[in-house]
Amino acid sequence: MKASDGAVIYVGKAIRLRTRVRSYFGEAGKPKPLTSQMMRYVTEVDYIVTETEVEALLLENNLIKAHQPRYNVKLKDDKRYPYLRVTVNEPFPRIHITRKAENDGTRYFGPFVHARSTRQTLKQLTKLFPIRTCTLPLAEVRNKYRVCLDYHIGRCPGPCADKIDVPDYDEIVQKVCQFLSGNTNAVVKELTEQMQAAAEALDFETAAKYRDTLKDVQQAITTQNMDSVSAADEDVIGIAVRTDIACVQLLRVRDGKLLEREHYYLNDADPESLATALSAFISQYYQNAVFVPKTVVLPMQIESMELIENWLSEKQGNRVGLHVPKAGRLRKLQILATKNAEILLTQREQNVVYSSGVEPALVELQELLGLKHPLRRIEAYDISNLGDRFAVGSMVVLEDGKPASAEYRRFKIRSVEGQDDFAMMQEIITRRFRRALADDEKFNKLPDLMLIDGGKGQLSAAQAAMNFCRSLQGKTCYSKAASSQLPDIPLIALAKRIEEIFVPGKSEPIVLREDNPTLHMIQRLRDEAHRFAVTYHRRLRQKSLSASVLDEIPNVGPRRKQALLQHFGSIEAIREASLDGLLSVKGIPRSVAENIRKHL
């Protein structure tokens, strides 16, 4: 989160970015005083997408240490995540945990996010690959120390007492380094087999120990790209392209740590000339750059690559290389940069209309359907029934992207016998627009788009209803109204199973990606129409279940029914009551008492 001057004032991480950011602006609960104070200064929110939660945690650590944000409490001290250090510059290398990585000729593995898992992994390593963990100064030969407990329990081969020579010990060290570099298949396989063997022998306690050890090992060796042991300075470039525009994402790695990102948009770009556009960008970007790193990582070969390398090297005063990685850490970082560029392009497409106050999903839907007018009002229709009983319909309304509950309408199906969803849909739409033609104030607002819950059948029924209503426009009973002209209102249908969008006149449905915001908006509207219809249907059904024979008697409403039941206790007792007995009930006049006697 940044202030108006661009200063970073808070760094955080989130699995669900939308939920996390909204929590700072939500009204639920009382916000913390520090959060309320911070939000007064936040003018911009920027983010970087990582591959894993571990990478996000390490990146958060790097950024907090680099920017020292005012409102971050944790991680601002000099505490670092742990590394495993193998002292390969000694005759008999040892392994131990350290929190500081230096360029001292030894090998460092990490950083590891979980300190406990790192300790458990080190413990497991010495079981699988006996390697010393002590600090004794050992020579290649003539070491005359006494062996410790680790030797007796098989966790150290005893180089301190010349129990092993240097070549054999080096083989163990190589296996340890391979394991820590990610070649863990053999270890994971052995632990898995031991766990399964213990479980088959019904030794579940031992199996659980192997399971926990396996989990610790897998957690500790999780790879990440945010923090490198090397102190390299690198600029990692990714690029994504859409029609007529490209986005370049530049990740700045300093001292082996990813610290910043920048992005730029290139107009008039296309996939065919991407290499040319990227070459021009690099020339322009580094023209006025104060610092050029030793390595610039690119997604592809570019024009005049050798010439640009020589120019950058001359500008910086030392060798600068343009590198297109095929594998490894730099390749992963480059893929990450490209992924962030694609996300920025998508975000730009969605946000380009925010300044006009129009919901981006509405604009995308308008463009998707090829409509000229904006979708200010959308109406959605659905049917709910139980066989042929209690059939109802619903109409819900979205105005400027927001539900307009005051405009919701419900219909009790009158003319359809049996279970015929198509005919029911036709009835409710006909009734809705006949009342609009008659200038009924409850239905006089016309939609810019109609959404039907269902597939091609429901869509065809809605079309037939609209055609019938248009045929009524010239009839005398509707021609008196000044606003009785029914325009061509576009219709679409959303089928539930695969979420296909059917459009009249098109044989193939429109299928949007599951994460598309426009699809989400249509789904929410469809689901709201379904909810409104089902609620009305259940209300009618419940009312039917609570009905009695007293409801059929003229002038016996809920209050009189309640008074009679309270006085007599049952319908049978009311049936056997005399006229005088009925008249003794408060609120029952003679005419009503006679009606009760007659009906019962």
Q: Give Cα 59 distance to the centre of its chain.
A: 20
How confident is the model over 535-553, as a mean pLDDT? 76
DSSP characters over 256-305: TEEEEEEEEEEET--GGGHHHHHHHHHHHHHHS-S---SEEE-SS--TTH
8 Å CB contact between 486 and 436: yes
Tens of pLDDT, residue by residue over 273-291, are 778 778 878 877 777 666 7
Work out whether the CA dihedral 179, 184, 190, 192 comes out positive or negative: positive
8 Å CB contact between 231 and 103: yes
pLDDT, the chain, mean: 82
Predicted local confidence at residue 77, as pLDDT: 45
Least confident piece of the model among 4-8, 167-171, 187-191: 187-191
8 Å CB contact between 145 and 161: yes
Residue 66 has pLDDT above 90, yes or no: no
pLDDT band at 432 (very low <50, low <70, confident <90, very high): very high
Residue type at position 474: G
How confident is the model over 374-394, as a mean pLDDT? 87
8 Å CB contact between 592 and 556: yes
Residue 27 has pLDDT above 60, yes or no: no
How confident is the model over 566-584, as a mean pLDDT? 88
Return contacts of 552-555, CB within 8 angstroms, 24+ apart. 552/599, 553/592, 553/595, 553/596, 553/599, 554/595, 555/591, 555/592, 555/595
Give the 3-state secondary structure of residue 328.
coil
List CB contacts of 528: < 8 A, sequence separation 6 or more.
380, 396, 403
8 Å CB contact between 395 and 529: yes
pLDDT band at 474 (very low <50, low <70, confident <90, very high): low
Predicted local confidence at residue 490, as pLDDT: 94
pLDDT band at 452 (very low <50, low <70, confident <90, very high): very high
Predicted local confidence at residue 31, as pLDDT: 55
How confident is the model over 479-499, as a mean pLDDT? 75
How confident is the model over 47-55, as a mean pLDDT? 81
Task: Give the number of other CB atoms < 10 A from CB of residue 417.
Answer: 9
Predicted local confidence at residue 532, as pLDDT: 93
159 or 541, which is more confident: 159
73 or 391, which is more confident: 391
Least confident piece of the model among 78-82, 137-141, 293-297, 500-504: 78-82
Ranges assigned E (strand) in 120-256: 234-242, 245-254
With left for phi above 0 and alpha for psi between -120 and 50, is residue 270 left, alpha or beta? Answer: beta
Q: Which of 208-222, 367-381, 382-396 has the highest mean pLDDT?
A: 367-381
Predicted local confidence at residue 272, as pLDDT: 73
Residue 353 has pLDDT above 70, yes or no: no
Q: Which of 453, 427, 423 is nearest to 532 (CA)?
A: 453
pLDDT band at 76 (very low <50, low <70, confident <90, very high): very low
CA distances from 218 to 196, 487, 517 (A): 17, 64, 36
Residue type at position 45: V
Tens of pLDDT, residue by residue over 123-133, are 877 877 789 99
Task: Give the number of other CB atoms < 10 A from CB of residue 430.
Answer: 19
Predicted local confidence at residue 438, as pLDDT: 85
